[in-house]
Copies of this chain bind each other. A is one copy, B any other.
């Protein structure tokens, strides 16, 4: 009998956790403590908690929400669920940029080499095309031979050699996110700021970053079209990452039209390489400007400039003097890619079918439904309907008129590139509906509408929660 009592006392001191109790607590709107959240994250990673219990917990969390403390606890627990990368031994400050996803968003190909050329290390773990948005890895894989699936040792070797490396997530990194992300996709629990924050930041923090620049999109092509939702997510991510010791800034940037003139895979690299070569086409001006702003913040947070503005200047110099181009081509080569395709990048472009879409009336290009344009790009073959499907490197859309442009009836608006001629009709119809031409020019839209640093993020969250 004494034995039994002793055992009971021990159990009372550290009661074992049960997933059913954690589900009920969140269901009833309670706040979970760090131990409970770590139990869920570890159980997701190891498979010890069955999918249906995780699904019920995710739905309860989606509806009831998480506090800042819970969001931070989930982010850190997920970060710790697998292997980690340690860039500290590179001897440089490690800085990454993350975008919330958009159409024609190819800033990674510019900011990674520009920041690396200015002395910071850029260990960038990227994603694939999802829904209406493109994927950095899919774009890079249109370079013959480019390998995105590097081991952590290979990743480190490329970083040592080139200063930047863009790779895919390894299976060992943040396994809790892999399980929860796939479940969220199937259970209607994707669009929750805390779950998004934990998913993004757990991966970034597991990469051991010193600093992080977040590009949170707003406007018709953003995942979060509501400006307040985008602001809340941006502030939440900054506050959470800063609490975890990573210097972080978030820029709210315009995705009210595709970024730059190309949306697809190879054609986005063509546009990027042109800028890295110091050219300055008018239709790529927003891409150039945003890339320099983001790279400026990376260089500043990485300690290689005293202000974001002087970081911008350093980045622009690296753009104009070709040092960014050299980092980019070096990285491509180090990851197995053939750089000769960039000798005549436009010639390498061999789409299966091409069609020019002309303006049906004269006027100003006003609104662009950028999410619809993203779906048109996907339907042309550049994206995928389901994870694992192949993409066509040559498919996509080149936009000849950007928002605010004055066009004449019959003037080319865009060129569509598809795998087969049969794939042109639907994207063409989408595009014609998505681009609005009016008699009056549109109001100007700021490229960067708001910037959150730690202080402004914390202040915003205090007001938002009140």
Contacts and interface: CB of A to CB of B under 8 A. Distances in A.
Interface in A170-222: 183, 186-189
A287 interface: no
A57 B55 CA distance: 9
18 contacts: A23-B188, A27-B188, A27-B189, A50-B51, A52-B52, A52-B54, A52-B183, A52-B186, A52-B187, A53-B55, A53-B186, A53-B187, A55-B56, A55-B59, A56-B56, A57-B59, A59-B59, A60-B63
A161 interface: no
A62 interface: yes
Given A52-B183, A183-B52, A187-B52, A27 B63 contact: yes
A196 to B, nearest CB: 16
Contacts of A280: none
Nearest to A422: B1
Contacts of A183: 52
Contacts of A64: 63
A27 B186 contact: no
A24 B189 CA distance: 8
A62 B188 contact: no
A433 B296 CA distance: 69
Given A51-B51, A52-B52, A52-B54, A59 B27 contact: yes
A464 interface: no
A66 to B, nearest CB: 15
Interface in A51-81: 51-60, 62-64
B58 A56 contact: yes
A24 B58 CA distance: 13
A20 interface: yes
Contacts of A187: 20, 23, 52-53, 55-56
A29 to B, nearest CB: 9
**Chain A interface size range:** 20 to 34
A421 to B, nearest CB: 13
Interface in A16-61: 20, 23-24, 27, 50-60
A20 B60 contact: no
| 10 closest A-B pairs by CB | A56-B187, A52-B55, A59-B59, A23-B188, A55-B55, A51-B52, A24-B188, A56-B59, A55-B56, A63-B63
A59 B20 CA distance: 12
A132 to B, nearest CB: 17
A408 to B, nearest CB: 30
A178 to B, nearest CB: 15
Interface string A212-242: 0000000000000000000000000000000
A64 B60 CA distance: 10
Contacts of A59: 23, 27, 55-57, 59-60, 63
Contacts of A186: 20, 50, 52-53
A189 B63 CA distance: 14
A456 B51 CA distance: 43
A159 B204 CA distance: 68
A54 B53 CA distance: 11
A56 B188 contact: yes
Contacts of A60: 59, 63, 188
Contacts of A24: 188
Contacts of A23: 59, 187-188
Between A27, A60, A188, the greatest number of chain B beta carbons within 10 A of the residue's beta carbon is seen for A188
A24 to B, nearest CB: 4
